[in-house]
């Protein structure tokens, strides 16, 4: 279903349109929420609240972005709101204070590693741990861009930051992950 048709059907409260949107976006929204919150029950709550907001506030949607981008933004905001309740001093919009600690000490050439090692389940587990260790500001951008495959512009809209900030945070996230994986993989070789 194309975006224009979907929006028209959503505006007249067509249950099939809501069902279609839920089926095509709920898993993606859940992955972003669980990636930020690291709590499956909380992430499920975020997805439910996101679709509740869609139903309640659809008339306020101006159509300047895709409906799915708007839903990502709502889910992102709800997840950040829950993070702030858990840790009241958290600001996901600010850069981490220990930003210099994010810079890698050693750069590893991944092209020299055997492919079987790079696709190993242990490596996947290490990557998951490294992603979980990212500061929230970087983890959010990394999940939206690399896991969900959203564009830089969509990520900027969802996170409420500039495209330049998205690029910087994504670069720093990649450097951090590269170093984390290098340390764990070098230890296992």
pLDDT tens per residue, range 103-124: 444 444 445 555 555 566 777 8
Give the separation between CA 116 and CA 124, rounded to whole angstroms: 12
Percent of the chain at pLDDT exceeding 90: 57
Q: 3-state class of 93 per DSSP?
A: coil
Domains, the chain: 3-86 (1.10.1740.10), 99-188 (1.10.10.10)
Kindly tell me if the per-residue pLDDT of 5 is higher than 70. Answer: yes
pLDDT tens per residue, range 30-59: 999 999 998 999 999 999 999 999 999 999
Give the separation between CA 78 and CA 167, rounded to whole angstroms: 23
Kindly tell me if the per-residue pLDDT of 86 is higher than 50. Answer: yes
Kindly tell me if the per-residue pLDDT of 163 is higher than 70. Answer: yes
Give the separation between CA 64 and CA 81, rounded to whole angstroms: 24
Question: Which candidate, 106, 126, 28, 103, places its Cα nearest to that of 72?
Answer: 28
Q: 3-state class of 12 per DSSP?
A: coil
Q: If 0-12 CB within 10 Å is exposed, 13-18 middle and 19+ buried, where does residue 32 land?
A: buried
Kindly tell me if the per-residue pLDDT of 61 is higher than 70. Answer: yes
Give the separation between CA 146 and CA 122, rounded to whole angstroms: 20
Give the separation between CA 55 and CA 49, rounded to whole angstroms: 10
């Amino acid at each position: 279903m194309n975006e224009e048709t979907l929006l028209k059907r959503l505006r007249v409260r067509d249950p099939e349109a809501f069902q279609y949107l839920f089926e095509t976006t709920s898993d993606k929204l859940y992955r972003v929420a669980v990636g930020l919150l690291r709590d499956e029950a909380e992430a499920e709550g975020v997805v439910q609240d996101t679709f509740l907001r869609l139903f309640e506030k659809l008339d306020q949607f101006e159509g300047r972005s895709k409906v799915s981008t708007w839903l990502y933004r709502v889910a992102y905001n709800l997840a950040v709101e829950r993070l702030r309740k858990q840790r009241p001093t958290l600001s996901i919009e600010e850069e981490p204070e220990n930003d210099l600690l994010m810079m890698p000490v050693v750069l590893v050439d991944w092209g020299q590693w055997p492919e079987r090692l790079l696709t190993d389940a242990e490596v996947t587990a290490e990557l998951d741990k490294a992603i979980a260790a990212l500061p929230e500001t970087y983890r959010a951008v990394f999940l939206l861009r690399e896991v969900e495959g959203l564009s830089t512009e969509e990520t900027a809209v969802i996170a409420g930051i500039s495209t330049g900030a998205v690029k910087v945070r994504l670069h720093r996230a990649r450097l951090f992950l590269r170093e984390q994986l290098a340390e764990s993989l070098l230890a296992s070789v």
